[in-house]
């Protein structure tokens, strides 16, 4: 796919961000009203929510006025589960691009699972469709995917983001997909990296190689055909062989540069490097990759932000993504807490090794 989006797609993306911004401003107005006069929040017409009151601090569990009735184009859903991913934490810190002009208080949630209490139908709520650190949410019908009966909401909430990252990258971003190809995963021990190994195999990759600094943790990652421990100076051993696709969940410029300089390319094919995550933050790949490298080697460097995919891409792929999340096991540890415990769980020791999933409906 090219980097340019059609005008309707750009308008739709702007519209979704505008809806999220409107909801955020509404939350701010409600919070300001509650702060000035808490008694104005009628307990009989209120719901609980967790909002960021100060950038970089854990969300606070507070009462806010209940939602208005949903419009004809919306569903009012009881929120069952929402995952605290790295993007959510970045939004809570005010460090994500989607929060640069957002006022406080702020709901940093990204996606989740909700249920229509009238019909009993469960839905996946897509990215930035509505504030989900709350008991209920009004969600536009265009931004939900109906789930099969019996689907585990916590499981879908935990897997949706990491699975969709690799799925959308390999299906819609990488030229030619991964069928019959070798995929190299930098940061294979991360939640997203572990899911990427499973997704790549499901989409037809014939060889999957995992890279990480921690040898013991890397040895436990499922679905890998080979493992490489990252050590300085960063380089791939010749035994790795030809590589078609590199999925980078770390974003370490020096590591990426070393790998791109030493990876064996397939004759007649580009080596496609995709930065999916950015845990390392700095230095960025563009700060350290030698300019001569992209002229001397058939290297294609790609990104995978929301702006890289069209609305039609998401509509086409989301049903298959949801099918996969409901069928696969969770390849990383999680811990689930009620939304009411968000402040204490946010920076708990468990978050160092496990993915936090909040259950507002608990």
pTM of the model: 0.84
What is the per-residue pLDDT for 73?
Answer: 96
Query: Closest Cα partner for 265 from 300, 224, 304?
Result: 300
Integer Cα distance of 192 and 163 in angstroms: 7
Query: What b/e readout covers 5-28, taking b as 16+ CB neighbours within 10 angstroms?
Result: beeebeebbeebeebbbebbeebb
Domains and CATH numbers, the chain: 10-151+332-359 (3.90.180.10), 161-308 (3.40.50.720)
Q: Cα–Cα distance between 359 and 158 in angstroms, integer? A: 11
Sequence-ordered list of residues with C-beta below 8 angstroms from that of 25, at least 6 positions apart, any chain:
103
Residue 109 has which token pair? 């949630």
Burial 80-109 (b: 16+ CB within 10 A, else e): bbbbbbbbbbbbbebebebbeebebbbbbb
Q: Please tell me the distance from the alpha carbon of residue 242 to that of residue 191, in angstroms, as a whole number.
A: 26
Residues of the chain with pLDDT under 50: 1-4, 33-34, 36-40
Nearest to 256 by CA among 239, 240, 278: 278
pLDDT (tens digit per residue) in 180-223: 999 999 999 999 999 999 999 999 999 999 999 999 999 999 99
Q: Are 360 and 79 in contact (CB under 8 A)?
A: yes
Question: Residue 292: what pLDDT?
Answer: 84
- The CA distance from 260 to 293, in Å, is 8
Relative to beta strand 112-115, strand 74-84 is antiparallel
Provide the pLDDT for residue 215: 93
Q: In this structure, what is the dihedral angle of CA atoms 128, 133, 137, 141, given to the nearest 10 degrees?
A: 30
């Amino acid at each position: 796919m090219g980097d340019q989006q059609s005008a309707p797609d750009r308008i739709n993306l702007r519209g979704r961000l505008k809806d999220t911004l409107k909801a955020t401003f509404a939350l701010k107005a409600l919070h300001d009203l509650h702060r000035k006069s808490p008694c104005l929040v009628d307990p009989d017409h209120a719901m609980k929510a967790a909002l960021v009151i100060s950038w970089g601090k854990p969300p606070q569990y507070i009462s806010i006025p209940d939602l208005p009735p949903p419009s004809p184009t919306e569903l009012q859903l009881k929120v069952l589960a929402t995952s605290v991913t790295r993007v959510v934490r970045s939004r809570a810190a005010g460090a994500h691009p989607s929060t640069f002009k957002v006022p406080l208080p702020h709901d940093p949630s990204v996606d989740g699972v909700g249920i229509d209490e009238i019909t009993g139908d469960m839905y996946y709520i897509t990215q930035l469709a509505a504030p989900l650190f709350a008991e209920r949410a009004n969600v536009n019908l265009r931004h939900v995917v109906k789930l099969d009966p019996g689907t585990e909401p916590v499981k879908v909430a935990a897997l949706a983001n990491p699975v969709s990252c690799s799925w959308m990258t390999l299906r819609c971003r990488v030229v030619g997909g991964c069928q019959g190809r070798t995929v190299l995963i930098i940061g294979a021990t991360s939640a997203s990296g572990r899911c990427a190994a499973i997704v790549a195999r499901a989409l037809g990759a014939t060889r999957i190689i995992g890279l990480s600094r921690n040898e013991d943790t890397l040895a436990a990652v499922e679905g890998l055909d080979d493992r490489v421990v990252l050590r300085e100076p960063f380089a791939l051993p010749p035994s790795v062989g030809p590589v078609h696709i590199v999925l980078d969940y770390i974003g370490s410029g020096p590591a990426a540069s070393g790998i791109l300089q030493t990876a064996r390319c397939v004759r007649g094919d580009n080596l496609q490097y995709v930065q999916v995550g950015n845990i390392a933050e700095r230095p960025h790949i563009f700060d350290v990759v030698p300019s001569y490298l992209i002229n001397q080697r058939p290297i294609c460097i790609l990104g995978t932000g929301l702006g890289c995919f069209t609305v039609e891409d998401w509509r086409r792929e989301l049903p298959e993504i949801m099918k996969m999340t409901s069928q696969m096991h969770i390849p990383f540890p999680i811990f689930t807490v009620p939304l009411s415990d968000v402040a204490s769980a946010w920076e708990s020791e468990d978050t160092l090794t496990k993915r936090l999933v909040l259950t507002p409906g608990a």
